[in-house]
Amino acid sequence: MRDVIRITDFQAPELDVYARLREIQLLNRHEPEKGIFIAESPRVIKRALDAGCEPLSFLAEERYLEKELRDIKSRCPKIPVYTADMEILSRITGYKLTRGMLCAMRRPPLRTAEEVCRAASRIVVLENVVNPTNVGAIFRSAAALDMDAVLLTSDCSDPLYRRAVRVSMGTVFQIPWTYLDEQRTGPKDGIGLLRSLGFRTAAMALTEDAVSVDDAKLLSEEKLAVILGTEGDGLSEDTIADCDYRVRIPMAHEVDSLNVAAASAVVFWELGKK
């Protein structure tokens, strides 16, 4: 590949976005239209491109230049490609997990909840799920098990954090998502918004009146939003009280709950049986 730029100094400014800018700096809350995220691996990068994300630059191991990157580069020929010796690349945190390729991309503008949910019948709402690994895993399960959209409260981990994107295998670009509103306010009016969009709400909670996840009435709902809470504490009491259903997964061996990402996969599987 002829137009590759070789980096010989780890302090080169071209590597800033990959090696020195923190997630919060990439996010750029003060000027969200200038926000950036990092996509890792050819598969994830292709899914981001398929979703219309704008690439800014590529960073790749030399052995990936002629094969995996050639096809991707043909879709955006004017975007610079950087490479460097492994002595430099290995100093980039997490680089060995990227399968040879990184891409800095412009963050797409957030859509409104109304836009994301307009044609949806099964959606996921995440309340204060702060671990990016869990957020990425939930997106991957949502895509695999045919959920229509994901809504997040403002305190959730960003779905475009580098680790969340990687764990999701790029499905964050395939499932429509947004925050409960474009201003990223909290969940206080979220239940009301969901109801205005025609959704019944189901809180995943260990309460005495909780129905089983395979409850026939629950599964027969035409439009249903399943709400999952933060790791450890689960959903807030106010959210549980405001929902139409309280739902639990039947357990054996006196286990009371699953990790939120594991629980999401079970729930999505059941909801897909409608």
d(CA 162, CA 31): 19
d(CA 4, CA 179): 38
- Residue 216 has a pLDDT of 92
The token pair that represents 185 in the structure block: 């306010």
Strands 224-228 and 177-179: what pairing?
unpaired
Nearest to 211 by CA among 258, 249, 261: 249
Which carries the bigger pLDDT value, residue 28 or residue 74?
74
Per-residue pLDDT of 189-218, as tens digits, reads 788 889 999 999 999 988 888 899 989 999
Nearest to 169 by CA among 68, 41, 75, 36: 41
* 168 — pLDDT class (breaks 50, 70, 90): very high
The token pair that represents 16 in the structure block: 């800033």
* 185 — pLDDT class (breaks 50, 70, 90): very low
Percent of the chain with pLDDT over 90: 58
- Are 155 and 128 in contact by the 8 Å Cβ rule? The answer is yes
The chain-wide mean pLDDT, for the chain, equals 87
**Backbone φ and ψ of 228, nearest 5°:** -115, 140
The token pair that represents 105 in the structure block: 């991309």
Per-residue pLDDT of 16-34, as tens digits, reads 999 988 888 888 776 777 8
- Are 133 and 202 in contact by the 8 Å Cβ rule? The answer is no
195, with CB counted inside 10 A (0-12, 13-18, 19+), is middle
**To which residue do tokens 């960073």 refer?**
59
Nearest to 204 by CA among 172, 251, 168: 251
Q: What is the mean pLDDT of residues 63-77?
A: 82
**Backbone φ and ψ of 246, nearest 5°:** -110, 130
Per-residue pLDDT of 84-102, as tens digits, reads 888 888 888 666 655 678 9
Q: What is the mean pLDDT of residues 116-131?
A: 94
- Are 244 and 206 in contact by the 8 Å Cβ rule? The answer is no
Which DSSP category does 259 fall into?
-
The token pair that represents 235 in the structure block: 């959903």
The Cβ-side half-sphere exposure at 174, using a 13 Å CA radius, reads 21
Cα-based angle 44, 146, 157 (whole degrees, multiple of 5):
55
